[in-house]
């Protein structure tokens, strides 16, 4: 099989590209990052082509906090269109084209006309579902910034869903949102992400004199972070501490001051190499997401022996079993989060069992190799090629 990929930036697509290349299937991967950033991904230069002319300036403007929302929306949409036209002109003869959602509409259709397969890889829920979740949470907290998705992006992505021969998602919850929106179930395939087991392992033990709760990820409304702060405030446990690792999004500036933050420490973003230390020294990591494809930090925490409390919308149900490696709770339910944290804090033996179960579970996941195996199997099925 000959496979071509297209991705905005990196995401998990370079994990997939390395797996496909190792199996002899990768023809080319196109990205909107410059080669200077992509060379660390470990693929041969001849397999990687870049179109950084719009995405990179947009990223740098946003990182400097000098790009208004309207400009970022315009650059993002222009980048999607230009990147698609660029890949359409370049795509070689291949059996399948895997494009991250939002990319590859014209290119995918062109390949279909040649007899190839077009696969949309969506790392989250159906875009309309996500837009509604985000909008509702912004209304709930009275935040206007970032409340509405660009309608052009919504329409383009839905056109991609219709055109694609198949849609891949990382978790069962994401699949359900597509089925609920009328996409045929047989068109949607669940392929959970892997974990870099060589980078995530247990390196320490949690302290005995405190109860350490960890959150890792962006601090924004869709992550359900407000529910976590409310749940943590309800927790009646001596020596409790919540460590928050991740960047605070601008939309939270007016929200955070309204929430309890006693015994909460905001660390900010840290290098990935530091995460195993935080995860190993925590009694539990909480992922309170309102909408998620599959939060990679959940598998990373399990690899460090850290039990996870996750919502039904986090992708956690595809990684862990409720009551074994952690707990699965409903969304928007601070009481349920507090109850499960209390249960762990009050029972050191339960902490130990869940930590051991987490280590056992993540070994069974097989890292990214199993992810590559699942993709290879699906590609054989879709293309009919060996």
pLDDT in tens, 114-142: 999 999 999 999 999 999 999 999 999 99
Q: How much is the average pLDDT of 72-76?
A: 87
pLDDT-derived band at 296 (thresholds 50, 70, 90) equals confident
State the Cα–Cα distance between residues 177 and 348, nearest whole angstrom: 37
φ, ψ of residue 281 to 5 degrees: the values are -90, 5
Q: Is the pLDDT of residue 214 over 90?
A: yes
Q: How much is the average pLDDT of 312-317?
A: 92
Q: What pLDDT score was predicted for residue 63?
A: 78
pLDDT-derived band at 195 (thresholds 50, 70, 90) equals confident
Locate 236 and state its tokens.
């009646």
| Per-residue b or e along 227-243, where b marks 16 or more CB atoms closer than 10 Å to that residue's CB | bbbbbbbebebeebbbb
Neighbours of 187 (CB within 10 A): 15
Locate 79 and state its tokens.
């980048």
Q: Is the pLDDT of residue 197 over 80?
A: no
State the Cα–Cα distance between residues 18 and 148, nearest whole angstrom: 35
Nearest in space to 87 (alpha carbons), one of 180, 366, 79:
79
CB 105 within 8 A of CB 156: yes
State the Cα–Cα distance between residues 361 and 270, nearest whole angstrom: 26
pLDDT-derived band at 352 (thresholds 50, 70, 90) equals very high
Q: Is the pLDDT of residue 239 over 90?
A: yes
Name the one residue in this structure whose structure tokens are 């279909």: 112
Q: Break the chain down into helix, strand, coil percent, rounded to 5.
A: 45, 15, 35
Locate 21 and state its tokens.
């290349």
CB 121 within 8 A of CB 100: yes
Q: What pLDDT score was predicted for residue 346?
A: 96
φ, ψ of residue 253 to 5 degrees: the values are -60, -40
Among the listed ranges 193-202, 273-282, 289-298, which one has the minimum average pLDDT value? 193-202
Strand partners, 5: 29, 98
Q: Is the pLDDT of residue 271 over 80?
A: yes
pLDDT-derived band at 363 (thresholds 50, 70, 90) equals confident
φ, ψ of residue 242 to 5 degrees: the values are -115, 120
State the Cα–Cα distance between residues 294 and 315, nearest whole angstrom: 4
Alpha carbon 33 to its chain centroid, in Å, reads 18
Number of residues that make up the chain: 386
Neighbours of 23 (CB within 10 A): 15
pLDDT-derived band at 290 (thresholds 50, 70, 90) equals very high
pLDDT-derived band at 362 (thresholds 50, 70, 90) equals confident
Neighbours of 60 (CB within 10 A): 11
Taken in order of first residue, the domains within the chain and their CATH numbers are 3-194+368-383 (3.40.50.2000), 211-365 (3.40.50.2000)
pLDDT-derived band at 145 (thresholds 50, 70, 90) equals confident
Q: What pLDDT score was predicted for residue 59?
A: 86
Q: What pLDDT score was predicted for residue 123?
A: 94
| Per-residue b or e along 144-171, where b marks 16 or more CB atoms closer than 10 Å to that residue's CB | eebbebbeebeebbeebbeebbbbbbbb
Q: Is the pLDDT of residue 198 over 90?
A: no
CB 25 within 8 A of CB 379: yes
> 328-335 long-range contacts, Cβ below 8 Å, gap at least 24?
331/224, 331/227, 331/288, 331/289, 331/290, 332/224, 332/227, 332/290, 333/227, 334/227, 334/228, 334/230, 334/231, 334/234, 335/231, 335/234
Q: How much is the average pLDDT of 228-247?
A: 97
Nearest in space to 191 (alpha carbons), one of 214, 204, 175, 211:
175
Element (H, E) at 50: strand 48-50
Element (H, E) at 328: strand 326-329
CB 289 within 8 A of CB 313: yes
Locate 168 and state its tokens.
């891949």
């Amino acid at each position: 099989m000959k496979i071509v990929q297209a991705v905005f930036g990196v995401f998990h697509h370079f994990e997939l590209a390395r797996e496909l290349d190792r199996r002899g299937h990768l023809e080319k991967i196109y990205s909107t990052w410059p080669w200077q950033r992509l060379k660390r991904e470990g693929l041969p230069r001849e397999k990687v082509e870049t179109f950084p002319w719009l995405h990179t300036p947009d990223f740098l403007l946003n990182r400097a906090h000098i790009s208004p929302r309207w400009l970022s929306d315009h650059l993002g949409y222009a980048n999607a269109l230009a990147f698609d036209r660029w890949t359409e002109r370049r795509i070689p003869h291949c059996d399948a084209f895997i494009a991250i959602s939002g990319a590859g509409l014209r290119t995918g259709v062109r390949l279909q006309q040649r007899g190839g397969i077009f696969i949309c890889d969506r790392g989250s829920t159906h875009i309309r579902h996500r837009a509604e979740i985000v909008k509702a949470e912004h209304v709930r907290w009275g935040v206007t910034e970032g409340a509405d998705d660009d309608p052009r992006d919504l329409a383009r992505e839905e056109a991609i869903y219709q055109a694609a021969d198949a849609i891949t998602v990382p978790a069962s919850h994401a699949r359900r949102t597509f089925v609920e929106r009328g996409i045929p179930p047989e068109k949607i395939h669940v392929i959970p992400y892997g974990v870099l087991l060589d980078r995530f392992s247990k390196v320490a033990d949690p302290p005995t004199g405190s109860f350490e709760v960890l959150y890792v990820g962006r601090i924004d409304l869709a992550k359900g972070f407000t529910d976590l702060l409310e749940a943590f405030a309800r927790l009646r446990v001596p020596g409790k501490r919540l460590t928050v690792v991740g960047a605070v999004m601008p939309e939270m500036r007016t929200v955070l001051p309204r929430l309890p933050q006693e015994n909460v420490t905001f660390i900010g973003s840290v290098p990935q190499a530091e995460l195993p230390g935080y995860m190993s020294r925590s009694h539990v990591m909480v992922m309170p997401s309102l909408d998620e494809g599959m939060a990679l930090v959940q598998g990373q925490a399990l690899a460090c022996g850290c039990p996870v409390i996750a919502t039904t919308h986090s992708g956690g149900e595809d990684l862990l079993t409720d009551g074994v490696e952690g707990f699965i709770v409903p969304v928007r339910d601070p009481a349920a989060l507090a109850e499960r944290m209390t249960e762990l804090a009050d029972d050191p033996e339960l902490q130990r069992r869940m930590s051991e179960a987490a280590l056992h579970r993540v070994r069974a996941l097989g890292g990214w190799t199993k992810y590559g195996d699942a993709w290879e199997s699906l590609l054989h099925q879709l293309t009919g090629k060996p």
